[in-house]
Structure 1
C-alpha cells in the first residue's frame, strides 16, 4: 500500500451517482461495442435534457431529483448471501422523522470491540463479506446493516425507490445505538458521507476508516447535471426543492467541512487511484481537512474491489484494533497493494 501526502484538494467533478443516473429507464441506451453509436446516443440524451431545461424546467428538475435520489439495485453475490446467512439478524428502529422504520442489522462474533460497517449508495451489508472475515480474525465483533430503502430494510420516507445520504446516516445511527458501544466505523463510498453526518450528530467512535468516500454532494450533483446537459437554473430549482424535504441545505453534506466543524476520531482514508466512480482527489480533500486524518492510496483496485483486497483489509484491522485485541495472521506475500 503506497502512502500519499494528503492536502486539501478540489472536490471531484466526477459524481459517484452518475453511472446510476445514466442507466435510468428513460435515459439509458443499450450497450454497444461501436463507440461512435454510443457517443451518438449519449449526445441525443444530452440534447433531450437541454431541451427539457428550456421547455419544461420544472418537470426536468423533478426528473433530475428522481434520478439523483434513486439508488441502483443489484443482486447479491453468493459470497454476500453466505455471509448474511451466518449472521445473527435483528432490527433497529429509525425514529423521530415520521413513522418508525426498521433497519436490518447483522452481527458476527461474540467477543472484542464492535466495528460498524456502513455500505455505500445502492449497497447492502453482504458486500462486506471479505472485511467481516478479516475483522473477525483480528478479534473484533462486527455489525453491518442495510440502510433504509436498501437490502432488507424498510422503505425510507419517500418510498422504496428513493432515499438520501441523510437517511443513510440515520440508519447508521440507529444500528449503532442498537448494537451497543461502537469502537470504530468502517464506511464505503457514500457510507463515508453518512458516517461524517453521524459523527456530527454525536456518534461516539474511537476510529473511522473511509474507503472511496465522496467529498461534496453539491459538487457531485452539479457535475452530473453538466454531464447530462441540465441548465444551471434547473439544477438550482432541483436543489432548492430537495432542501425543503431534506430539512437542511446541500452545503451541510460537504464531508471536509464536517471534519472542520467538530472533533472527529482518528481517521484512515483509503482511496484508489483508479477509482472511476469517486475520484482520488475526494479522498485527499477529506484527509487534508480532517485533523489527524491519514490518506493511503492504492492502485488497480477501483471502487469496489478495494473491499475484497487482503492487504487493504489487514490495514483496516491494524488501524482500528485496540492495543489489547489479539493480532491476526499476516497477509501472505504477494498480496500487498502496490
Structure 2
C-alpha cells in the first residue's frame, strides 16, 4: 500500500448560505446503527405520535450515551506519565496524565474517547520542550461520571472538565483537540483559559444540525426534535448555537487556529472542517486523504504538522 500523503494546506471554501447542505449532513449516530436500529425507530415512532415529551427524554438519554467502539479506546501513549486527579466545579474527579516540563500543551479527546487516543503527540512535544497534559473528560476513560450520571455525557461535561484541568495546570501554550473535544477547546479558549495556539482535528458538526439528522435516524418528527433540543439546552445551560464552532471564531478572536480534516472521514464530513475553517478569518486548513476520523490521530504527517504549528516561533 502506498504511503498516505502528508497533510496539504488548502484554501477552505467560504461559509455557505443558510440551509442544510447535503454535504454537511451528519452521518447516522453510532447509537442508532446495527441490529437495534429498526426496533428503536419503531418505538420512537409510537412515542413521537402519542407522548413526544417521553420520546424526547428517551432521545436525550440515547444522544448522551457515548459510543464505545474499539477505535476510541486505542492507546498511542509512548509510556505512562504522571497521574494526577482534578475535580470539576460539580465535583467529578478527573484523571489527568502529564509528561515533560515547560509550557503546557493540552490534549483534548473527543466524544466517547479517552486521553490515550492523542498519545502520538506526546513524545515530539516533550522533545520540543513542552509539558503535555491529557485528561479523561467526565464519564470517559477513568474519570468519574459527569452531571448526568454513569454511562452518560454531554459537551458541557467536556468544557467543564477542560476548564478544571486548566485551572490546575495553568495557561496553555497550545491545545490539540479532536472531534467534540474541538468544541470544548474553543469554548474554554474563549471563556476560561489563556491559550497560545489551537490545533483542531476533525472538528464536530454544529449540534442543532446534528439534531436534525439524529431525529431522522430515530424516526421522530419536529415535535420530538424540538423538545430534544430544548432539553439539551437546559442540560448544557446555553442555546445549542452557543457551541457552534463557526460563529465562535468568526470574529478572528481564536488563538492562531489550524483545522485538519480527512476527505474520507465517515463520522464528521470533510465539508464540516472546511466550512469551519472558511468561516474563521485567521485559520489555516490542512486536508488529508485516507485517514478517516480516528486514524488521523496517529498519522506521522498529521502529528508533524500539528507539532510544527504549535512550536514554531512567535510571529512566524
Note closer, same or farther for the CA distance 1:163–1:281 as it changes in structure 2 (3 Å cut): same
Q: Is the 8 A contact 1:12 1:220 kept in 2?
A: no
**1:146 equivalenced with 2:140 (yes/no):** no
Give TM-score, length-normalised by structure 1.
0.83
Q: Distance in 2 between matches of 1:167 and 1:209?
A: 21
Q: Which moved more, 1:201-210 or 1:258-267?
A: 258-267
Give TM-score, length-normalised by structure 2.
0.88
In structure 1, the residue corresponding to 2:195 is in which secondary structure?
A: coil
Q: How many residues align?
A: 302
Correspondences of 1:91-110 after superposition (within 5 Å): 91-95=85-89, 99-110=90-101
Q: CA deviation at 1:160?
A: 1.8
Q: Is the 8 A contact 2:73 2:117 kept in 1?
A: no
Partner of 2:181: 191
Question: In structure 1, which of residues 56, 60, 64 is the aligned counterpart of residue 55 of structure 2?
Answer: 60
Is there any run of 5+ residues in structure 1 with no aligned partner, and where?
Answer: 31-41, 325-338
Q: CA deviation at 1:203?
A: 1.9
Note closer, same or farther for the CA distance 1:70–1:78 as it changes in structure 2 (3 Å cut): closer
Is there any run of 5+ residues in structure 2 with no aligned partner, and where?
Answer: 1-6
Partner of 1:21: 31
Partner of 1:69: 64
In structure 2, the residue corresponding to 1:80 is in which secondary structure?
A: coil
Partner of 2:4: none
Correspondences of 1:177-188 after superposition (within 5 Å): 177-188=167-178
How well do the aligned residues superpose, as a CA RMSD in angstroms?
2.3
Q: Is the 8 A contact 1:200 1:262 kept in 2?
A: no
Q: Deviations over 1:190-245 (max 9, x none)?
A: 00011121122142111000000113111012111112221111010111123223
Correspondences of 1:1-338 after superposition (within 5 Å): 1-6=7-12, 7-9=14-16, 10=21, 12-15=24-27, 18-23=28-33, 28-29=34-35, 45-73=40-68, 80=75, 83=78, 86-95=80-89, 99-110=90-101, 112-260=102-250, 263-323=253-313
Q: CA deviation at 1:303?
A: 0.1
Structure number, greater radius of gyration: 1
In structure 1, the residue corresponding to 2:309 is in which secondary structure?
A: helix
In structure 2, the residue corresponding to 1:318 is in which secondary structure?
A: helix
